[in-house]
Amino acid sequence: MDEARVQESSSTEEGKTSEVSQSVEELENTSRNNSVEQALQAVHERIRVLSFSGRHPDLGKMFKCQVCGIRHRQAERDCKQVFAKRGAMELIAGQTPETETVIEARKIRAIVGAKIFKGKRLKPHLNKRQLQFVELVRKLVPDEYTQEDLNKARAKAKRILA
């Protein structure tokens, strides 16, 4: 009988120890899962704050290309400035790209003809009285204004200058 009691007690002890070991393993797994979840949340928060180029450093930042005038990544295109090549004879004669822009108006008249440019200006310069009117209207109009404010300022300026 004593042997039967010992076997029963040992089997109950084994069952209790197996239950305890299972509960300890479960606690360890949940603590690992919690720590993993916390670490994942921390990483997710750090990533959320970054810009697109920060999240994808291999792509690089966007910039406005001064050569082609388009926003793109440096890795996407290889934009190079290409300068016009001119003959050595023209450069020796004294014409350079800087001095040529001054002569451009004369070239157009020589090519097309001066008759097209003859006559009254399409938008003539303002005279002294008109300049005073414009200056006064600009003083009377607030920084941000509507068409109604502008009309009121014009009427007031007319009365002042009259």
The burial of 137, by beta-carbon neighbours within 10 Å (0-12 exposed, 13-18 middle, 19 or more buried), is given as middle
Between 112 and 3, whose confidence is greater? 112
Between 83 and 8, whose confidence is greater? 83
Q: What is the pLDDT of residues 118-130, one digit of tens each?
A: 888 889 999 999 9
Does the pLDDT value for residue 117 go beyond 60? Answer: yes
What integer pLDDT is reported at residue 91 of this predicted model?
47
**Calpha distance 62→51 (Å, rounded):** 11
Q: What is the pLDDT of residues 75-102, one digit of tens each?
A: 788 888 877 666 554 444 555 655 555 5
**Calpha distance 14→12 (Å, rounded):** 5
**Calpha distance 68→9 (Å, rounded):** 87
What is the domain partition of the chain in residue ranges?
A: 2-49, 126-162
